[in-house]
Chain A
Amino acid sequence: MTVERVAPGAVEEALQPPRRRSGGGPPGEPRRVAYLYLLPAFLVYAAFLLYPLARSVQLSFYRWDGLSLGTWVGLGNYVDVVRDAGLRAAFGHALVLMVFYAVVPLVVGLVLASILNRAKVRGLGFFRTVVFLPQVVAMVVVAVAWRRIYAPDGTLNSLLSALGLGSLTRGWLGDYTLALPAVGFIGTWFETGLVTVLLLAGMGRISGELYEAARLDGAGPVREFLAVTLPSVRGEIAVALTLTVIAALRTFDLVYVTTRGGPGNSTSVPSYEVYHRAFELGQVGSAAAIGVCLTIIIFVISFGITRIGDRDTTR
């Protein structure tokens, strides 16, 4: 992107005699007026995103119940993020969710997209519409649907009974070991479509000649996938991972509506802890610290993964 840094107008700017125009800049290159166009957006943005972020950092250094005067605890709240078993568990749960939100959809999406890309089947447009649909449905609605599926008298248990697997039935969201995977599987459900559509778009751009060359070399479907398809969609894989990993870290609505972090704290996640601590337990400082940590992790992941994707696509 730095290529454009040598501005195309710079040379002409130096050659042309200065003309008087509003703003005083060279002809056709308004400058100061730019700040005027930026101002309204910047004001709203600064007041309702940047300032609160700074306040979050500030609050995270205090122990505060939201009502009385807070006490300065320095990095105490951050130490707790590492030391407090409950919080460590919450971040651990987020890692488990990443497997369900990012890894499984990526593997399934790669297989599915490469099969569909090879086959050139009809009805792909309809398929895309359908598998992308979960992305636009409000998460609360998704949660209501899956609560029904996982309920003790719900769809999943009826299905298991009908298949003669009645011994496996249970209240899925009330089970200490299975509640977290059950929530995670909902993530798999709504992210797989997104990842598949993204990869399909990427694979559609691969030149047919590459495949022909591979076939002439006697490559089978698997070799073809590893040698041609996979390297060509690295950029898409990076984007898919960024989107899904961040979605896993930001899981709030789903946990709030399905399990409220329970049973016990077996499905509590960092986002839920932010809400729970700030607005239900009165541990505002701790909640702010978790929010700040979450933000840093998300920034690092976004930059990290896009870097990896970039390295392969640099011209």
Chain B
Amino acid sequence: MTSRAERSANYLILAAFAVFALFPILTIVVSALGPDDSGAGTASMAGLHPGNFAQAWRIGHFGTYLRTSLTVSVTVVAVSVVLSILSGFAFGTMRFRGSTALFYLFLLGIMMPSEAIVVPLYFDLRTLGLTDTLWAIVLPQIAQSVAFGTFWMRASFRSSSRAVVEAARLDGASNRRILWQVLVPLARPAIVTLTVLSFMWTWNEFLIPLVMVTDESLRTAPLGLAFFQGQYTQGFTLLAAGAVIVALPVVALYLFLQRHFIAGMLEGAVRE
């Protein structure tokens, strides 16, 4: 049905849109690999300059920031995934008084913006002496991830056959065995999705670390980049190199597990 001209036109549209989506990202990558424009270096102009990354790493302290980000993300993901599996198990396979009301309470958390909680959280944690510690960055984000994770794991456990659970119960399997040896293996794809999504959200989070820490050694990677942009004004090359460093972990994960990212972000939004 489609004529040759129409098909070429379609590919042209496809290509144009792909270029539009990639253009700003390529701007950064090209600048990061190009000659240093700060005027300080004596580097030759031609060719690639991977040395920019080393220089940005040193001048911008990205090593420290990445370490903080890694600690925060791994902690948040590990704790919230385990807690979500437990709560999703309760909501997904058990009947108990108040389950509907409690579940809706968790649903509120998915929609609640950080802006709503960050103000009192800062002042209350300051009273407890917890600001400027990793706790202040980690705990609120565990709560946010648990809200989504509970919803996500509940849906997954509900869809995995009820018959399987009932059969295991009749065999006298304990709840703990049913969860960890029957349901969790079945739900592995959903758990992987939850893991990568929580990792991405935590890694990219900006407001909570911005408010909670002033200590430079506790800055997460995006926060470090924002401050680096404010302080380093000698050129764009090192800033671009820093931006690549900050974005790379999540982008690399995305390229390997993109199906999980896309499915999770789209289905996660489609409630119930």
The residues of A with any CB-CB pair to B shorter than 8 Å are: 1, 7-9, 27-35, 37-38, 40-42, 44-45, 47-50, 52-53, 55-56, 58-59, 66, 112, 115-116, 118-121, 123, 127-142, 144-149, 155, 189, 192-194, 196-198, 201, 235, 239, 242-243, 246, 249-250, 252-253, 256-257, 270-271, 274-275, 278-279, 284, 287-288, 290-292, 294-295, 298-299, 302, 306
Contact in complex: B143, A144 (CB < 8 Å)? no
Task: Report the nearest A residue to B29, measured CB to CB.
Answer: A145
Q: Are A31 and B247 in contact (CB under 8 A)?
A: no
Which of A30, A41, A133, A137 has the most chain B CB within a 10 Å cutoff?
Answer: A41
B114-136 contacts to A, CB under 8 A, are: 114-124
The docked-state distance in angstroms from the alpha carbon of A299 to that of B110 is 10
A262 to B88 CA separation, bound complex (whole angstroms) = 44
Instruction: List A contacts of B226 (CB < 8 A).
Output: 140, 256-257
Return chain B residues, CB-CB under 8 Å to A250.
113-115
Provide the bound-state CA to CA distance between A141 and B265, in Å: 20
B53 within 8 A of A: no
A38 B262 Cβ-Cβ under 8 A: no
Chain B, 205-257, CB within 8 A of any chain A CB:
206-207, 210-211, 221-223, 225-226, 229, 236, 239-240, 243, 246-247, 250-251, 254-255
Residues of B at the A interface (CB closer than 8 Å) are: 2, 6-7, 10-11, 13-14, 17-18, 20-22, 24-25, 27-28, 31, 83-84, 86-87, 89-91, 94-97, 99, 102, 105-106, 108-109, 111-124, 139-140, 142-144, 146-147, 149-150, 162, 166, 169-170, 175, 200, 203-204, 206-207, 210-211, 221-223, 225-226, 229, 236, 239-240, 243, 246-247, 250-251, 254-255, 258, 261-262, 265-266, 269-272
The reply to whether A45 and B147 form a contact with Cβ atoms under 8 Å apart is: yes
Q: Which residues of A contact B243 (CB under 8 A)?
A: 140-141, 144-145
| Residues of chain A lying within 8 A (CB to CB) of residue B96 | 31-32, 34-35
Instruction: Kindly identify which residue among B2, B90, B240, B258 contacts A129, using a CB–CB cutoff of 8 Å.
Output: B258
How far is it, in angstroms, between the C-alpha of A256 and the C-alpha of B166 when the chains are bound?
Answer: 52
Chain B residues with Cβ below 8 Å from A37 are: 86-87, 89-90, 94, 175
Task: Decide if A144 touches B28 in the complex (CB within 8 Å).
Answer: yes
Do B272 and A302 touch across chains, with their CB atoms under 8 A apart? no
By a CB distance below 8 angstroms, the chain B residues around A284 are 119, 123
Contacts of A302 in B (CB 8 A): 111
* Alpha-carbon gap, A45 to B221, bound state (A): 25
Contact A243 B236 (CB under 8 A): no
Instruction: In the A-B complex, list the 8 residue pairs whose CB atoms are closest, starting with the nearest.
Output: A55-B120, A48-B143, A41-B87, A52-B117, A28-B169, A37-B90, A34-B94, A145-B24
Is the beta-carbon distance between A49 and B211 smaller than 8 angstroms?
no
- Report how far A138 CA is from B113 CA in the complex, Å: 17
Residues on the B chain within 8 Å of A45, using CB:
106, 109, 143, 146-147, 150
B119 near A119: Cβ-Cβ < 8 Å? no
CA gap between A306 and B270 in the complex, in Å: 9
Shortest distance in angstroms between B255's beta carbon and chain A's nearest beta carbon?
Answer: 8
Contact indicator B272/A1 (Cβ below 8 Å): yes
Q: A32-B96, A49-B112 are known contacts. Are A149 and B119 too (CB-CB below 8 A)? A: no
Q: Are B225 and A252 in contact (CB under 8 A)?
A: no
* Bound complex: CA A249 to CA B120 (Å): 20
Instruction: Select A136's contact among B102, B121, B166, B200, beta carbons within 8 Å.
Output: B200
Contact between A53 and B116, CB atoms less than 8 A apart: yes
Docked-complex contact A145 and B14, CB < 8 angstroms: no
